[in-house]
Structure 1
C-alpha cells in the first residue's frame, strides 16, 4: 500500500471534530482509514457523523468497524431488543439527530447500508483493529463478539496477541483524554463525548491529530 494507514477513535455523534480531523488529515484515494466504532449516541449529531463517513468512503479507502453502541441501536431498530438500555446510554440523542417521529424505519437507506457494512475486526500488516479488545490466544475469525465490542480495558488489558501484531482499539475512554499505548495495544478513545478529544493516529509512525468537541484542532 502506497497510502497512509490512519485509525480514528470513538466519535459518539461529534461531527464537528470529525470534520476538523479529516480537514487536517486530507485523506487521499490511496489512504486507508479505519474507524473503530461508536459513531452514534451521546453527542449532538450522530446522523451527521454517518453522513460524513459515507462521504469519506467515496473519497478514500474506509474500513468502518462496529462498536457496542451501533450494536445496541441496531438491536432496537431491528426489533431484537427493548429500547430501554440504548436510550439510557445515548440513544435519545441519536434519535433526535434523525428527527425521530415514532416510526422505527427512521434510517435512510444509505445509512442502513453503512450500518450493514460494519465489520468486527480488520487486519493490516503488523496491526489489527477491533472496537474494544480481543482474546490473545484466538485467531481473529474465532474471537467472541463480547470481547470485540464490549470488554473494558479497565477490567484488564489483554496480553499480546499470539500473532505478534499490535492491537488498535477504542471503547475504553481515557478520562484524561490521553492515548493509551502499552506497546502491544493502543487505545484511541480519548473521551470526546466526555469533554476530552477526538483522536486520529497514523501507523506505524504514530503521528497524531486531535480535536476538541467544539471542532478546534489541538494538534
Structure 2
C-alpha cells in the first residue's frame, strides 16, 4: 500500500531543525520523503546533517535532490579547491563541520552526493527540483545542468502569473504544462515577506528561509498540510547562518 509523500525544503546545515521537523511530521515507513536540496552551507552541523540524511535513507523511502550548495560541496569533497563564492555563501561553515571527519567518512559522503538526483518525477506527474529549468520542452531537454540548481525564472514566472489564464490558453507558459504540480526550493519565501510555503499557479516553493531567520518546512503534498520547525536560528543562538 502506497503512503503519503512529504517534501522538505532547503535545510542548510540545520540538523536540529530537521530532527524537530521529523518529529512533527511523523512519517510512516511506507511514506516517501523528497528532500529538495541545499543540505549544507549555513549552520554549523552540515557534515552531521549528511550523516543523519544517510540514516533516514535506511529508515524511509527517501529521494535526495541536489542543490547548488550541494554541487559546490561535492566538488570540494572530490578534492577541488573551494570556490570563493562558495566560501562566502556558507561554504566555510561546511568545511569547518568536517574537521573531525576522517578521509573515509568524507568518501562515504561524496558517494552520497554523487547519488543525488537533479530532479524527480513521481507516478502522479509531480516534479520535484531544487531551482528550475528554462527549456519549454521540460527538464529532460535542459541544455545546462546548472539550471536545475540555479534557475529562478520558473518560480518567478509562476508566482507572477495571472491566475485567471486557463491552462489551454495560448498565453499559458509551456514550461508549466508538463506537470500536474512542481515543487521547488532555492528562493526563500522570506524574499516575499512570507514565512510559509508559497504557491504560484501549479508551482509550490517550500524554501522558507531555514538558512536565515526562517523555519524549516515540510509539506504533505497529498493533503497540502504544512509542518514547520521553530526558527532555525533558535537552535544555533550563537551563530549567524547565512545572514
Shift, 1:82, TM fit: 4.7
Compute the displacement of 1:52 (Å): 1.3
The reply to whether residue 208 of structure 1 matches residue 226 of structure 2 is yes
Higher share of residues assigned helix:
2
Closer, same or farther: CA 80–94 of 1 in aligned 2, 3 Å? closer
Partner of 1:112: 110
Deviations 1:109-136 (A, max 9, x none): 3312211110000001131010001236
Query: What CA distance in whole angstroms lies between the structure 1 residues aligned with 2:135 and 2:15?
Result: 33
Q: Work out the number of aligned pairs and report it.
A: 213
TM-score normalised to the size of structure 2? 0.80
Bigger shift: residues 27-36 or 3-12? 27-36
Cα RMSD after superposing both structures? 2.3
Q: 1:173 corresponds to which residue? A: 188
Alignment of 1:1-219 (within 5 A): 2-80=2-80, 82-99=82-99, 105=103, 107-124=105-122, 125-135=124-134, 137-143=136-142, 144-153=144-153, 156-157=156-157, 159=173, 160-175=175-190, 176=193, 177-211=195-229, 212-213=231-232, 214=234
Greater C-alpha Rg = 2
Query: Are the aligned partners of 1:7 and 1:36 in contact in 2 as well (CA < 8 Å)?
Result: yes
Q: Which runs of 5+ in 2 are unaligned?
A: 159-172, 236-243
Distance 1:203 1:113, change over 3 A: same
Separation of aligned partners in 1, 2:155 and 2:220 = 27
Question: Alpha-carbon deviations, 1:2-40, whole Å to 9, x = none?
Answer: 211000000000001100011122222211000000000
Q: More displaced, 123-132 or 5-14?
A: 123-132
Gaps of 5+ in 1: none
Q: Give the TM-score normalised by structure 1.
A: 0.88
Look up the SS of the partner of 1:193 in the other structure.
coil
8 Å contact from structure 1 (residues 153, 172) kept in 2: no
- Displacement of 1:106 in angstroms is 7.6
Change (3 A) 1:107 1:41: farther
